[in-house]
Amino acid sequence: MLTIAALRWGQPYASMETDDLSHFATGEPVARMSRTNGGLVQRDLRKASQARNALRAIPIDDLIARVAKAGELYLRGTLPMGDGTQTPEEFVRAQSATTGLPERLARANMQKNGFVLTEMRQILTSLTRGLDLNVLTQGHGIERGVPISYQAQTPALGAVLPSNSPGVHTLWLPVVPLQLGLMLKPGSQEPWTPYRIAEAFFAAGIPREAIGIYPGAHDVGAAILAGCGRSLMFGGQAAVEQHRGNPRIQVHGAGFSKILIGDDVVDRWESFLDVLVESVIANGGRSCINASGIWASRHTREIAKAIAERLAAIRPLPPDHPDALLAAFTVPGAAASIAKAIDGDAALPGVTDMSAAHRDGSRHVTLGRANYLLPTVLHCDSHESAAAQREYMFPFVSVVHCEQAKMADAIGPTLVCTVLSDDERFRQQLLDSTHIDRLNFGPVATTALNWLQPHEGNLVEFLFRPRAFQQAAVAV
């Protein structure tokens, strides 16, 4: 069993209090984590400027090259992990063991993170819209003959990280080459990715004092959010509501991503079935970019039936099985609670559980000690049903009947919206909709990301403030 210390700005710190991570299927211990507290975080925040100073001493161009090297090490190297080392395959098995994620999905998410690290130069060019990156180091410069200035809003980005989907770590990876430090609280079940990336950074020449990793309870996350000038927060809808409107915190919660099928193409919905299914099941349905709603003005019951038939073939499999797609629920009682909530929605007027015909008994099933939920498709006769706006961390979707003219106003907050329609008026309505973050026109799965575009808000705009700047020679 590995023993993993906290990293106080790169220096290992073994605390008196620890937490054990266990294998979701066997209960065997996998690792023992040091547990920090909010007071320790507050003390270490006083040194956050040292992280920025250490990174500013290295040209951004050099940092980008080191990050690319770190990407190769992350994907292929044997790296330190706590009091031991870890190969890529050992990393995959450990991540699967504590999160319930099938190993094939752990490998896929590893590739996502590795891609962002190795392609960092292109990604920063896109995020900054071609800005001379030296402007961020100096704080000012000239662009097209006009003086410009950008001011960093924090010496280090804080991040309260999740356990459900390792792919979201791509969001904070560009921070180090932007010469800002990182203060991370890892997910309670998924410390593996931030620790492995940190060790890859260190091995590639990133200063150790640039990164802190602080495992612990809620007080650690609260201290990071309160003390860092800018933070990323991953959580449920309650967390989104708690921090809504706080310009210092970018909250990533439920996505409520959707596919809208226009009246001009809905009569040939079968031709889009592969895109619909892929949007629901990719990454085991655990991502905020998975489609949780498919809306159309007609054929919705047939669409729901066809998706349910496709998803019926998906069953729980051991995590090392090459075809495993469903992730286990590792929090005690979570699967049973979600199953009960869905049963309640399915009993509402106008709501039908289209998956019920394809299973014997409950959608909540066990495989040994592990708890799973079988893929579920609900059909809603009306967009006004409460069941039309649900999202869960497994392959779940509501197929919703709604007139096209009402969709733009009725869909509500939507992280990713795929629009299957060539109707220019309908498209313009959705371009103008302030409910939608990412927008896809055509048969593009909601889970198909372009890494050269912001996933959910532009990180550079979040971290740096543009301001007016003038300069004149001082008379001697």
pLDDT digits (tens, 9 = 90+) for 26-85: 999 999 999 999 999 999 999 999 999 999 999 999 999 999 999 999 999 999 999 999
Rounded Cα–Cα distance for residues 296 and 267 (Å): 10
List, in sequence order, every beta strand (DSSP E) within 115-261: 140-143, 146-152, 156-160, 181-185, 211-213, 230-234, 249-252, 257-261
pLDDT digits (tens, 9 = 90+) for 260-280: 999 999 999 999 999 999 999
Rounded Cα–Cα distance for residues 352 and 302 (Å): 12
Residue among 465, 460, 410, 418 nearest 437 (CA): 418
Q: How far is Cα of residue 266 from the mean position of the Cα atoms in its chain?
A: 31
Enter the DSSP assignment of 267: G
Q: What is the pTM of this model?
A: 0.93
pLDDT for 375 beyond 90: yes
pLDDT digits (tens, 9 = 90+) for 186-199: 999 999 999 999 99
**pLDDT in the model for residue 457:** 63
**pLDDT in the model for residue 321:** 96
